[in-house]
Structure 1
Amino acid sequence: MRPQHRAFGAILILTLMFVSCGPGVEMSRSTMDEHMQQRRDLVESFSRAADVRITDNRVLNAMLAIPRHRFVPEDLQEHAYDDRPLPIGHDQTISQPSLVAFMTQELKPQPTDRVLEIGTGSGYQAAVLSRLVADVYSIEIVQPLAERAAKTLEELGCKNVHIRAGNGWLGWPEAAPFDAIMVTCAPDAVPPALADQLREGGRMVIPVGPENQVQELYLLEKRGGKIERRSILPVRFVPMTGKKKAGL
């Protein structure tokens, strides 16, 4: 699997947009029914995948509940339930559904978790997480994407996703510590701010590696104040950009 995903970074923009989704929120019947069979077919395919098999029922149910077509541009609606990334404008993409599910499964989200996401993009990953955790704090460098994602999530009745337009390298210090962190773009090293904002015992899923080369998807865990890492899967993401400090 060699997915290309969104870039992230640049200047800190002090714009906040608060919206919400959550385990108890129901989508409208028309939204759920119209594309439900396509979602069922997509989710069923996850259990047959060789390299990114999804077995967590909570994750599968979250993927089934979220209407991916609402996060896809109108001219690409017919491909909304294809298992591949799609462009969403500003040289960014909505992630491949099986990879979203796999990364979510590896994060092991719990109902009481507060999760930081770096790279909101379309808002799709945040919407999936919102069904599984207490709160999602998501940062996106491209302000029009942050605004569009906030609008989509609000229309879907989400209540536990908080979106900020800004620099992902800095994290969201005033909302820290986080139980889990999901990163959807590749730094060349783990940003120290993200490691600092992860609570003791917390988990982070992050692709790390040089631009335009195969990178490694890692699961990081903080134990005794130190970051332990486990390699999960070779991937290829666009780089995390923006104001950098030395990485781990």
Structure 2
Amino acid sequence: MSLPLNMVTDGSDKYQLARYNMVEQQVRPWSLGDEQVLELIGTLRREEFVPDGLQDMAFMDIQLPLLGDDGEEAIANGHCMMPPRVEARVLQDLKLQPNDNVLEIGTGSGYMAALMSRLAKQVTTIEIEPALVELARANLHRAQIKNVDVVLDDGSNIKAIGGTYDVIVLSGSVHEVPAGFFDKLNEGGRLIAFVGNEPMMRTTLYTRTKGKIDVSQPWDTVVARLKGFPEAPRFKF
């Protein structure tokens, strides 16, 4: 992604310049080589998907809290956005296609769904927190994105998920992916999840090939927990 010839550098559009710097200083160096993804991250207005007052933090390499005054509590409750470089790597690894139907668990502010909507046919995103559902719907409406459906529900409840999908994204970490999610993948479908516990989680890509599930773990990170998914059983003495 090169600096556009019409890029404003006098400070009158600080967010445009901030997005460019985010791509070049955070995203691209993190093994990102997909120019389509880099262009998308650099043009979609991330600052319009964060709470009022946090626009200047939209481009920082952090998990950005979305609800409440206590940032640590918001992240502990999963009410946050993933760092930009993580979102970009997910997009690159999924290799979204124009005819893909996507299911996302954990809508947050709607930003990840907005990114995927630019590359896929349709995105259905499920969020358990009503306040975040309202926030995401407002953000997507303002961005004039019409191929994303935001659903208020518990995304860990597989029985409530109808149909099958080409792509499933768990936008938060889990101890393990419930086996029922693999039944929701079409042939050739991909599911990406952040599996494990702090201090390090494995980004895990599952691909359905001829009825079997192939697994790869291309990179590590740490992201907030998704609500409702089972945790590791505790040892009893």
* Greater relative contact order (CA < 8 Å, ≥ 6 in sequence): 1
Question: If the length of structure 1 is used for normalisation, what is the TM-score?
Answer: 0.78
Q: Across the two proteins, how many residue pairs are aligned to each other? A: 210
How far did residue 44 of structure 1 move?
Answer: 2.2
Query: Residue type of the partner of 1:221?
Result: T
Query: Partners in 2 of 1:244 and 1:94 — Cα distance?
Result: 22
Shift of 1:208: 1.0
Partners of 1:187 and 1:68 in 2: CA distance: 25
Moved more, 188-197 or 151-160: 188-197
1:179-200 deviation digits (Å, cap 9, x = unpaired): 1111112222212232111111
Residue 227 of structure 1 aligns to a residue in which SS?
A: strand
Distance 2:209 2:27 in 1: 32
2:162 aligned with 1:162, yes or no? Answer: no
Q: Which runs of 5+ in 2 are unaligned?
A: 1-12, 69-73, 233-237
How many Å apart are 1:84 and its aligned residue?
2.3
**Residue 237 (structure 1) aligned with residue 237 (structure 2):** no
Higher-Rg structure is 2
- The Cα of 1:241 is off from its aligned counterpart by 2.9
What is residue 189 of structure 1 aligned with on the other side?
176
Alignment match of 2:209 (pick from 210, 223, 234): 223
Q: Of the candidates 100, 111, 119, which is equivalent to residue 124 of structure 1?
A: 111
- Give the Cα–Cα distance (whole angstroms) in 2 for the partners of residues 59 and 44 of structure 1: 13
Aligned counterpart, 2:43: 65
Structure 1: where are the runs of 5+ without partners?
Answer: 1-32
Say if 2:26 and 2:61, in contact at 8 Å, map to a contact too: no
**Which of 22, 25, 31 matches 1:42?**
22
Partner of 2:61: 83
C-alpha change, 1:193 and 1:121, in structure 2 (3 Å) is same
How many Å apart are 1:239 and its aligned residue?
Answer: 2.7
Displacement after TM superposition at 1:34 (Å): 6.0
1:75 is paired with a residue whose SS is coil
RMSD in angstroms over aligned alpha carbons?
2.1
SS in 2 for 1:189: coil
Residue by residue, what CA displacement relative to the aligned partner does 1:57-94 show, whole Å, maximum 9, x if unpaired? 22112212211111112222222222322111151111
Q: Which amino acid aligns with 1:56?
A: D
Paired residue secondary structure (1:233):
strand
Distance in 2 (alpha carbons) for counterparts of 1:37 and 1:208: 34
Question: For 1:9-158, what aligned pairs fall within 5 Å after superposition?
Answer: 35-46=15-26, 48-49=28-29, 52-89=30-67, 91=74, 92-158=79-145
Using the alignment, how far apart are the partners of 1:107 and 1:243 within structure 2? 22
The 8 Å contact of residues 90 and 192 in structure 2, kept in 1 or not, is answered as: yes
1:126 deviation in Å? 0.6
Report Cα offsets for 1:198-246 as digits up to 9, x if no partner: 1111111111114x44221111101122211101112222333326599
Instruction: Give 1:173 deviation, angstroms.
Output: 3.0
Identity %: 34
What amino acid is the match of 1:81?
F
CA distance in 1: counterparts of 2:90 and 2:132, whole angstroms? 21
Q: Contact 1:115–1:136 at 8 Å: present in 2 too?
A: yes
SS of the aligned residue for 2:89 comes to helix
Match of 1:128, SS?
helix
User: Normalising to structure 2: TM-score of the pair?
Assistant: 0.81
- Distance (Å, rounded) in 2 between the aligned partners of 1:55 and 1:201: 23
